[in-house]
Structure 1
Amino acid sequence: MRTEGYPKPSFLSPYSSSIVVRILILITICIEILISFLGGKSSAAGALQSNGSPRVPAVIVFGDSIVDPGNNNNIKTLVKCNFPPYGRDFTGGKPTGRFSNGRVPSDFLAELFGVKEYLPAYLDPNLKTEDLLTGVSFASGATGYDPLTPQIASALSMSEQLKLFKEYVGKITAAVGEEQAATIVTESIYIIVCGSDDIANTYFITPFRKAQYDVPSYTDLMVDSASSFFKELYGQGARTIGVISVPPIGCVPSQRTLSGGLERGCSEKANQAAQLFNSKLSARIDALNAQLPGSRLIYLDIYSPFLDLIRNPSKDGFEVGNRGCCGTGNIEVSVLCTRLSDPKTCKDDTKFVFWDSYHPTERAYKILTTRTYNKYKSMFY
């Protein structure tokens, strides 16, 4: 068909081509915004994780060895575990300073909240800005709510951890500006794990505190100290704070060995102290929620599920619940759990609830952390 003499179709004109290009650019921009909104790490209202829960910008953790991913590596203390066989099931078989054979609860929580797979130690010298923006752990092995506890172990006290948090806020403010930093601080999830060392070590092993306090008054001291920490953290901008209870500390292998008699039974005195503290902690958290506007402090019970795991290990496929995998499993922890322990260390730690005489295995941690998250997750959003 001849086309000579007919005008060219309008969409081929320079003017029309320009409109088409602009439309295509606008469509591309809209698609990019939609993808960013649905799948990015933004904390904007309405953004969701793959599991349907709202996104949080960061997970920030305080406490003791249960959630210390290596801060004690960088302070002067004997309470370390940055040597084999610790970390043998971690990525690359690397001992990072985590008190277990692999990942610890702070890692699992960061993953469950949709932030990242590993929560790094704030004192890690290799920390990058992007690590800071999505959260860190300030926890220090062997610390406690009682100010005496970190002094005994030369660990970071809870007040020192809070000072590091203030430093952290300054760093992220310098990186992203005041407005975005304030959003990260306010919208992040905070987790606190502390109190076990106060009861197991400071009170029942160190005679000084027993001479000063009976169990009821000592647990009052712990709760008052914990409450002061929560209020200071709130004052720094934290709003959603999960506080994990003290576990059945009398049933960890070291306490069985030290206080459980020839049969290595659980130390009922330590467990009763833990239960008393937990009841007071729960009540204090309720009171603080009523006092602090906009606060969401959440008491997370780990005592009951952990005790069930220890007493009935076979329900979850474990074979041993009264001693650790490392060495004899009766007393080895930290500097007592080293390469010298290897000849007696279990070959398959997935059968053990405890990795050393104080800390659970990665598998046990994952089970307990996941169950706790699933039970309380609706309270965080």
Structure 2
Amino acid sequence: MKIKVLNSISLAIVFVMTGLLSCKKEKVESCAGVPGITKVSTTLNRDEGKDKGNLSDWIIIQGINLCDVNSISFNNIEADLKTAFIEANEVTIKVPRGVPSDVNNKIILKTKNGTAEYGYTIVIPALQVSRMLNEYTPAGETMVILGKNFDLYEINKTDGKVIFGTTEVNIDRASADSIYFKVPANAAVNSVIKLKDKRNTVTPVPGFYRDNRGIIYDMETAGDYWNSAVLVRQDGPVPTPVASKYAYWKGNYNAWGWNEAFHIVSNPKLGDYNVVGSSNNYTIKFELNVLDTWKGSNIKIKLMDITYTWVPPSGFPVKTKGWETVSIPLSVFKTANVPITITPTQAATAKELRIYIHGATVEALNMAIDNFRIVPND
């Protein structure tokens, strides 16, 4: 009997709930009048009004008579109403990601009964073209340009181009931060590379293709070896060279073992490479290829009795996807925490310059470098 009572109670509850639900009326929004916008807020704080925001922000447009909205534009770019949440007195919507051709700093909302406008400034991030992943990418192979907001400025396979010297090249693939294309067969040393967007705006890529200015050591000559057990010079087959010979660290590195690479051209005169004046005006570059994971036996560079320890920007451990160009501002060489200035006298004097591996980490190295150079900043 107890079970029957419980079942009866449960059944009664179901009947009552069903009755209540059947009596519930759907909420009907009324938007008979002209729309108006009184405030724009973020989704995190609907009470605080905002007159400025970023692309891709979710915002709440507050006002009256909004439920029959048929378009909302920011500057002259329409938002996607399919993802919006629309009610009589507010619309929650995502600011569209795009660069407007007409900047009016307004939200324009339209319904069948009229139009409402509201002053709202969208912060448009700038196009950033950072660098070539590998300045020495051989002709016919894929080069990668790194940066930010390529998608926003429509530098893509359909609408963008690469201008390589005087040759216009198709883009094979693009993302928000990377452009991929094949280096043309006629690519010349020290070519300037530019990117062209959908609006035919041209933006230069920092650096020069196969930049041979200020090459102090191209690995074609031996230099001074301290220990050739780990370092060799070769031109392949693994890794495939970017020029000809390269310096190849392969073997066991012992802690503080002085498995040094070389003294570069022994003692170069920096003036012979046009390196004189403020170090803020120059950059050290070389190509690096880490085939097996590099755990942390740091590369050290010594210039004018100052030693700098280079750590990859991503930190350790690190492994590259082929050859990559490393850039180190010459200003990292400091005396009393002040970047050095190379006087004409110093530039005319032979100064020891070396690049080597030395440190506390014990590991098996499998990595290569090439084209050690000091170049003027663009």
Bigger relative CO (Cα 8 Å, ≥ 6 apart): 1
Q: Which is richer in helix? A: 1
Give TM-score scaled by structure 2 length: 0.29
Q: Which is richer in strand? A: 2
Give TM-score scaled by structure 1 length: 0.29
Rg comparison, structure with higher value: 2
